[in-house]
Structure 1
């Protein structure tokens, strides 16, 4: 139940009410009225929290609706509010208190805004996008996989949350889909399938592998599917810091937008048939390397396996400063030969039925939480942490537990529990070598 009822002339959620209402609180209540079931699921969704975050003094969206803090509810609803700020040209609100050095520029805000102004032509377009945003993280609710198993007899709990959502929607477990037109249902389902096969966020930070882009080849006659999925992903990132700051799009800073713009251009190139999968993937790496070169870092060559592996590590670690880039570079160089050779080789596997690649989900959180995006700590402490994480990643990316007769092109290992239980602990901060004793999560073959 919501904690208060809004006093508004609008009694339903549509494009007009969503953008015309002046009070965000009234909009949140209209969203709750339409998506009550989905928001209840989001209360149970798992998340990675930062206990040191300084939250605003104002009530969060979940406080307004439920009188309690729910991280994934806040992240989702801030994504929705970000759509309002974008569409209504509220640049100052969208940018908020982002650090000046990395704050989103007005030009970049306008680029994002143009995508939504072009993509949201009708009420059906708008409701389809809103539905996509609200349901995006429902797969993080453990109960959804349980409900699916109870209905179908199939256990999908080991799959990634995007795939769990896709299967649950197909099974009729997400009520908001019943109110969509047949065409919009089909578009969203295809967009979800794209998201399960190719997560744009993973591509932006080189978390996945070139074979993951294969899904784009199917969209050459359906550009609308990509458009819908990309809009949803932009808003997912805009709301990603909503559990820590619900007053702005905290995470959508300029370096993040640059990475997503690269994803947009690489994906469009594949869809248009102008560029191959490996070259599209490498475009992400090369542009990240160029940004670091502008800050004084050495030039990295994409044709050199050592440099290309380092590029992936820098992307996955969200490294934007010269000092931290140099830290990663020297840490990789000084690893023991066996570990370094294995890690570099694994980071250069594209993924195929003959040579599957491992996708380590939550590896960006592994590095950013374990080291800090800016490498907080003394030089020795940072080096120990980075090398511990690299040693662990070298074990994660091996294929020791994959059946020899498997035709899978990718294997997924979920590092969420490692991040939460080990890397976020004080023990890791004081003794990074504790990770050397940590077991590697089992590999899961995605069921696309």
Structure 2
């Protein structure tokens, strides 16, 4: 298939996605060379060892070397290819059989994709969104912003860094889009700077983070585009470990994203406030766990609601995993449990700011024994506690556990001695949401 550019190729999507995979990846690289090169420097977290695979990874095809975030991003793009072509078997690949994405769920994604992507410009915009989504993880982007504006944004989360960079016109691929789609992507990033689908699916954020949904009330297509990009992001999330399929978009995670979509829609159309919309996520996880034999968790009760947030953060979808969290919860001393009940029930408002413990789900979901989990929950109680006065305009403080994950968890020090968390300071807080 010969085309002068990817934009031209998007006018014939069937032919585009039928292009041999290696050629297709090279076409994407030719279009987004600078952006994909940035991803070589981006940070990532590994929660398992890469699978032994006989084929070359996407980044190896382009660079003759493996780069985690390049692989994650390009597997997200390849997932779009599998969706367009209806290649269900390729999509589910090596997903665990007991959690594998169902065919009817794959069909729902296809139908949603066809509803959102109605022309060549929309397809090109979605591909652009996939490629640039994680550029904020490149430390050089914050440095470039500082050189351009004189403002230091390195302390912000990667979504906020990307938004700032786009507003400063540092992401040149965004400038190629028609004004409508450029505006849609910018609005989606503005939403993403305070609201992340995955964080809501895991109950990692708080209701105040959903206030940005007001931006979507007049732009339903913008919200749909953002959801489609987020589904592809999770589809590629394990691309650095297994680049042969959409490893992470399994049925339980798809269900959680569908729940987020429903919750957000209820807020956008005005049938729910942010608290009620948020609680849809907790209610449905309670129903899911009850269906596999776990006790019915009443989120109207503050202690149960706090526990349910932990169950969501820990990706507990089985009876055994939920029971592990319940046992660890029951083993906490009274003071620690009281702190967690109080802080995990804060919505985020003036005078009562909430803490968002970024990367805590990545930490909690990997724990498999009660002792380790108990120590992690004790550390979380410290992370969630704000001891210094906060400006009344600040309603959400973000504390990132990324450094703790990379320094103590990935290197195995926590596994050897979970008490190490007692000797580690909590991360500095960063203002995430203001009013």
Please give the range of the TM-score, normalised by the shorter of the 2 chains.
Answer: over 0.9
Distance 1:343 1:308 in 2: 10
The correspondence of residues 220-369 of structure 1 with structure 2, limited to 5 A, is: 220-369=217-366
Could you tell me how far 1:368 is from its partner in structure 2? 2.1
Q: Deviations for 1:21-40, whole angstroms, at most 9, x for unmatched residues?
A: 34111111110011000001
- Structure 1 spans left out of the alignment, 5+ residues: 1-7, 376-381
Aligned match for 1:439, one of 408, 422, 425 = 425
* Structure 2 residue 76 is the aligned partner of structure 1 residue 90: no
Normalized against structure 1, the TM-score is what?
Answer: 0.94
Could you tell me how far 1:48 is from its partner in structure 2? 0.6
Could you tell me how far 1:51 is from its partner in structure 2? 5.4
What SS is found at the alignment partner of 2:272? coil
Kindly report the root-mean-square deviation, in angstroms, between the aligned alpha carbons of the 2 structures. Answer: 1.3
What SS is found at the alignment partner of 2:332? coil
Note if contact 1:18-1:27 (Cα within 8 Å) is conserved in structure 2: no
Distance 1:327 1:424 in 2: 22
Distance 1:432 1:176 in 2: 45
Distance 2:391 2:33 in 1: 45
Note if contact 1:104-1:254 (Cα within 8 Å) is conserved in structure 2: yes
* Structure 2 residue 27 is the aligned partner of structure 1 residue 41: no
- The 4+ residue runs of structure 1 with deviation greater than 4 A are none
Could you tell me how far 1:275 is from its partner in structure 2? 1.3
Note if contact 2:46-2:410 (Cα within 8 Å) is conserved in structure 1: no
Could you tell me how far 1:427 is from its partner in structure 2? 2.6
Note if contact 2:339-2:381 (Cα within 8 Å) is conserved in structure 1: yes
Note if contact 1:149-1:156 (Cα within 8 Å) is conserved in structure 2: yes
* Structure 2 residue 3 is the aligned partner of structure 1 residue 10: yes
Could you tell me how far 1:50 is from its partner in structure 2? 4.1
What SS is found at the alignment partner of 2:30? helix
Note if contact 1:346-1:397 (Cα within 8 Å) is conserved in structure 2: yes
Q: How many residues align?
A: 430
What SS is found at the alignment partner of 1:236? helix
What SS is found at the alignment partner of 1:26? helix
Name 2:98's counterpart in structure 1: 101
Distance 1:417 1:404 in 2: 23
Could you tell me how far 1:422 is from its partner in structure 2? 1.1
- Structure 2 spans left out of the alignment, 5+ residues: none
Name 1:150's counterpart in structure 2: 147
* Structure 2 residue 400 is the aligned partner of structure 1 residue 414: yes
Note if contact 1:76-1:236 (Cα within 8 Å) is conserved in structure 2: yes
Aligned match for 2:411, one of 425, 435, 440 = 425
Name 2:380's counterpart in structure 1: 393
Distance 2:225 2:172 in 1: 20
Distance 1:18 1:44 in 2: 31
Could you tell me how far 1:426 is from its partner in structure 2? 2.7
Q: Deviations for 1:13-67, whole angstroms, at most 9, x for unmatched residues?
A: 1324554234111111110011000001000000012452313210000000111
Could you tell me how far 1:187 is from its partner in structure 2? 1.2
Name 1:113's counterpart in structure 2: 110
Could you tell me how far 1:363 is from its partner in structure 2? 0.8
Could you tell me how far 1:198 is from its partner in structure 2? 0.8
Normalized against structure 2, the TM-score is what?
Answer: 0.96
Note if contact 1:18-1:84 (Cα within 8 Å) is conserved in structure 2: no
Q: Deviations for 1:369-419, whole angstroms, at most 9, x for unmatched residues?
A: 3x1xxx2xxxxxx11100010001000011124x44341110001110101
Note if contact 1:411-1:443 (Cα within 8 Å) is conserved in structure 2: yes
Could you tell me how far 1:447 is from its partner in structure 2? 6.8
Note if contact 1:10-1:17 (Cα within 8 Å) is conserved in structure 2: no
* Structure 2 residue 51 is the aligned partner of structure 1 residue 67: no
What SS is found at the alignment partner of 1:218? helix
Distance 1:345 1:274 in 2: 27
